[in-house]
């Protein structure tokens, strides 16, 4: 899913699109549209606006495909168009959802510090309340999927954008940096916090019952 380079099929698709080939357009729509709405949705407040952004983005894709250089994958190029438009919409909506790690807390930790032995303890910093193994059978049931969706909605915007693109959409780190205009280091910090938070939210629900 996360191909950074341009593959042969993609080159052909781009060539057909440049010739305004409807079948090529439909193929791309099938592949990308739901993801584009999701990407837009992390910036704007409603599903309807996200849909609108995705449609606008298709026009921008059609207008811009002639200039597509193939330096990034087609998908990440499309996602960066969506992200830019969605950002503009969000600002217009008066909802500034700027991508900034400055809104992030400096000292956010992956796991509640109380779950480790305190300073002065012989095993300082080692688990005092260790995690319990999760049952694999519980992982992909509807309830867990719903909970995960909700958990991601509670994340600060920047974290949510990164985890949606990386783990939900399966984008590569490079694609996310390009789409969100963020440095590689920031991308990783945000991904780390997002995954840690979602894990913590899932934890009480997935603990294997003895």
Partner 1 sequence: MSSRVPDQPTCREIVELITDYLEGRLPLEARTRLEQHLVFCDWCRVYLEQIHQTIRVAGAVTEESLSPEKREELVRLFRDWKGKK
| Residue 5 or 120 having the CB closest to partner 1 | 120
- The answer to whether 17 touches 25, Cβ cutoff 8 Å, is yes
Q: Is 168 in the site for partner 1 (CB under 8 A)?
A: yes
Long-range contacts of 61-67, Cβ-Cβ distance < 8 Å, separation of 24 or more: 61/28, 62/17, 62/20, 62/25, 65/14, 65/17, 65/18, 66/18
Q: What is the chain's length?
A: 210
Q: Is 167 in the site for partner 1 (CB under 8 A)?
A: yes
3-class DSSP assignment, residue 41:
helix
Give me 191's structure tokens. Answer: 């991904």
* Contact window for partner 1 (CB under 8 A) among 5-13, 80-88, 91-99, 129-137: 129-137
Instruction: Quote the least distance from Cβ 115 to partner 1, whole Å.
Output: 9
CA atoms within 13 A on the CB side of 61: 27
Q: Is 195 in the site for partner 1 (CB under 8 A)?
A: yes
Q: Is 29 in the site for partner 1 (CB under 8 A)?
A: yes
| Residue 52 or 93 having the CB closest to partner 1 | 52
| Residue 95 or 115 having the CB closest to partner 1 | 115
| DSSP secondary structure letter of residue 5 | S
| Residue 6 or 27 having the CB closest to partner 1 | 27
Burial tier of 127 (Cβ tally within 10 Å: 0-12, 13-18, 19+)? exposed
Query: Binder to partner 1 among 10, 38, 88, 174 (CB under 8 A)?
Result: 38
Query: Binder to partner 1 among 4, 11, 15, 109 (CB under 8 A)?
Result: 109
**Distance between CA 115 and CA 51 in Å, rounded?**
42
Q: Is 27 in the site for partner 1 (CB under 8 A)?
A: no
* Contact window for partner 1 (CB under 8 A) among 4-12, 69-77, 83-91, 188-196: 188-196
Distances 184 to 77, 173, 181, 191 between C-alpha atoms, Å: 17, 7, 10, 11
Residue ranges that bind partner 1, judged by CB under 8 A = 20, 22, 25-26, 29-30, 33-35, 38, 55, 58-59, 62, 109-111, 113, 116, 122-127, 130-134, 136, 139-140, 144-145, 148-149, 152, 163, 167-170, 173, 188, 191-192, 195-196, 198-199, 202-203, 206
């Amino acid at each position: 899913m996360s191909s950074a380079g341009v593959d042969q099929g993609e080159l052909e698709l781009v060539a057909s699109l440049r010739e305004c080939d409807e079948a090529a357009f439909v193929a791309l729509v099938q592949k990308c549209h739901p993801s584009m709405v999701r990407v837009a949705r992390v910036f704007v407040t409603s599903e309807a606006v996200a849909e609108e952004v995705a449609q606008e983005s298709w026009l921008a894709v059609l207008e811009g495909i002639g200039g597509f250089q193939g330096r990034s994958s087609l998908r990440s190029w499309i996602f960066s168009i969506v992200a830019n438009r969605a950002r503009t919409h969000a600002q217009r909506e008066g909802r500034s959802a700027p991508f900034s790690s400055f809104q992030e807390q400096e000292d956010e930790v992956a796991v509640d510090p109380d779950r480790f032995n305190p300073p002065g303890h012989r095993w300082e910093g080692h688990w005092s309340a260790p995690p319990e193994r999760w049952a694999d059978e519980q992982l992909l049931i509807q309830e867990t999927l719903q909970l995960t969706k909700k958990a991601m909605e509670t994340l600060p915007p920047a974290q949510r954008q990164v985890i949606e693109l990386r783990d939900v959409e399966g984008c590569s780190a490079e694609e996310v940096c390009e789409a969100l205009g963020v440095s590689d280091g920031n991308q990783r910090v945000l991904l780390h916090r997002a995954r840690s938070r979602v894990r913590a939210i899932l934890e009480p629900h997935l603990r294997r019952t003895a």
